[in-house]
């Protein structure tokens, strides 16, 4: 296979659909495809629907390029979505999705008793809890993650996962192994998949998949990641201290670190990405607070008149109701949004300032827990498109604001495919 030119593919499968991108070797997206799950299935727990929507997105992207140029492919899926399968990948039960809760108190108590406090396997939605639900099914070969199952359709292997998807199933990313304590929870550890680093080559594509998609037989299938990690990678952040803020309904901050950060009090754990670590936290502040007071049209109108270089002098901690997760772990923390200025523009500006202050505190918290000092911020989500808010945030955080290369998780997964292609020597 010639190394001249060459493209890679990334596929992102989410709760409502799939997206695929083709990327060249310098990281430029050259084609994309998208499909809605509703076109193939009315049930977001239907694995056949996942595969159909992934195929549709991929075929649309392939139609815009020469498939013969493809060198590698990688897939991400929703974190914590699990399904039990036979050796040839046939699902044995309806999958449990990332937000499905396990209600069995015996399972949850066993995890609480044996999992280290800093493990991401705690909680009713953890992958480990779902493993314990599925492991007694007759004929079960492995209990795997959504991304593992989809990747298996390209390799024929249904016993391989990546370090990011494995985290909530109890994987130890520091020791890089399934830890001994898993057996004490009652888990059948022989049902766990083998774990590779995100971006590591798994195998070459199966002959059947290569023929179905018109791809070269030497195409490398690369270990993927979770949708959240893929979204971070898509932005282009790649150095310790690079932060990504997601300004959506809530505020989420993530930062690359040169060391792992674990803080159970804040629900904080770290994903391993190569030789670096991705740590982050989610606040209850964010766009939901804005929406509780103003329409999108009113926010745009008022924002046009805001001077972001001056301060209101107000000290807001904007929340829609009591309770905060990060950077303050306090389930009864009260919102602070008084006194309310009579002028709506001033009130909106004070909310912007308050959310920016929480964002700054969040990155400071990551640094105080052992992370690097923030060096840059890229922003994704709806709030990224408000210039006044961006200027306030940049002034508060005091670091350069850089453009996100992409907000498409599939582009982040394509970057893993690039890494895997280079490791495999095909690009």
Please tell me the predicted confidence (pLDDT) of residue 1. 47
d(CA 345, CA 348): 5
Q: What H or E segment, with its residue span, contains residue 302?
A: helix 296-303
Angle between helix 227-234 and helix 409-424 axes, rounded to 10 deg: 80
Phi first, then psi, for residue 98 (nearest 5°) are -55, -35
Please tell me the predicted confidence (pLDDT) of residue 2. 46
Closest among 134, 361, 171, 337 to 270, alpha carbons compared: 171
Task: Assess contact for 401 and 363: CB atoms under 8 A.
Answer: no
Residues in Cβ contact with 192 at an 8 Å cutoff, skipping those fewer than 6 apart: 131, 142, 143, 166, 169, 178, 182
Q: Is the pTM of this model over 0.85?
A: yes
Please state the length of the chain: 427
- Give the pair of three-digit tokens for residue 45: 């727990």
d(CA 414, CA 9): 5
d(CA 319, CA 88): 49
Query: Which residue numbers in the chain have pLDDT < 70?
Result: 1-4
Q: What H or E segment, with its residue span, contains residue 29?
A: strand 29-36
Domains along the sequence of the chain with CATH: 7-229+409-424 (3.30.420.40), 239-402 (3.30.420.40)
d(CA 225, CA 202): 13
Each residue of 240-273: pLDDT tens digit?
999 999 999 999 999 999 999 999 999 899 999 9
Burial of 190 by CB count in 10 Å (0-12 exposed, 13-18 middle, 19+ buried)?
A: exposed
DSSP character for 179?
-
- Give the pair of three-digit tokens for residue 71: 């060198």
d(CA 156, CA 94): 21
d(CA 317, CA 394): 18
Alpha helix stretches (DSSP H) within 14-167: 47-62, 105-114, 127-134, 146-155
Please tell me the predicted confidence (pLDDT) of residue 4. 60
Cα three-residue angle 398-403-409, rounded to 5 degrees:
120
Task: Assess contact for 41 and 55: CB atoms under 8 A.
Answer: no
What DSSP letter does each residue of 328-346 carry, written as one string?
S-BTTPPPB--SPPSSHHH
- Give the pair of three-digit tokens for residue 117: 């406090």
SS3 127: helix
């Amino acid at each position: 296979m010639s190394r001249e030119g060459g493209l890679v593919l990334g596929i992102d499968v989410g709760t409502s659909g799939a997206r695929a991108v083709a990327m060249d070797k310098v990281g430029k997206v050259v084609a994309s495809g998208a499909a809605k799950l509703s076109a193939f299935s009315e049930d977001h727990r239907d694995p056949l629907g996942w595969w159909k929507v992934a195929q549709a997105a991929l075929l649309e992207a392939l139609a815009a390029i020469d498939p013969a140029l493809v060198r590698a492919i990688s897939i991400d899926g929703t974190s914590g979505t699990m399904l039990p399968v036979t050796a040839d990948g046939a699902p044995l039960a309806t999958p449990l999705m990332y937000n499905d809760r396990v209600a069995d108190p015996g399972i949850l108590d066993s995890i609480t008793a044996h999992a280290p406090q800093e493990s991401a396997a705690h909680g009713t939605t953890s992958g480990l809890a779902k493993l314990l639900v599925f492991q007694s099914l007759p004929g079960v070969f492995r209990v795997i993650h959504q991304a593992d199952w989809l990747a298996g359709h390209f390799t024929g292997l249904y016993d391989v996962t990546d370090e990011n998807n494995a985290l909530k199933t109890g994987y130890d990313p520091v020791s890089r192994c399934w830890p001994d304590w898993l057996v004490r929870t009652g888990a059948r550890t022989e049902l766990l998949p083998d774990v590779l680093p995100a971006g590591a080559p798994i195998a070459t594509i199966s002959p059947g998949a290569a023929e179905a998609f018109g791809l070269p037989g030497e195409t490398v299938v690369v270990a993927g990641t979770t949708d959240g990690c893929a979204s971070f990678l898509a932005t282009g952040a790649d150095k310790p201290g690079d932060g990504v803020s997601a300004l959506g309904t809530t505020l989420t901050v993530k930062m690359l670190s040169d060391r792992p950060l674990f803080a159970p009090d804040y629900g904080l754990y770290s994903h391993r990405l190569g030789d670096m670590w991705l740590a982050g936290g989610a606040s209850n502040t964010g766009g939901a607070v804005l929406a509780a007071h103003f329409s999108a049209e009113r926010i745009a109108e008022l924002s046009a008149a805001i001077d972001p270089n001056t301060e209101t002098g107000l000290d807001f901690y904007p929340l829609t109701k009591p309770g905060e997760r990060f950077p303050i772990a306090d389930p009864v923390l009260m919102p602070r949004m008084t006194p309310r200025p009579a002028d709506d523009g001033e009130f909106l500006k004070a909310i912007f300032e308050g959310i920016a202050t929480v964002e700054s505190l969040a990155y400071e918290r990551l640094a105080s827990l052992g992370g690097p000092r923030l060096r840059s911020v890229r922003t994704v989500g709806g709030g990224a498109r408000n210039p006044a808010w961006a200027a306030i945030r940049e002034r508060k955080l005091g670091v350069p604001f850089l453009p996100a290369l992409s907000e498409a998780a599939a582009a982040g997964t394509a970057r893993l495919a690039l890494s895997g292609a280079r490791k495999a020597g095909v690009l």
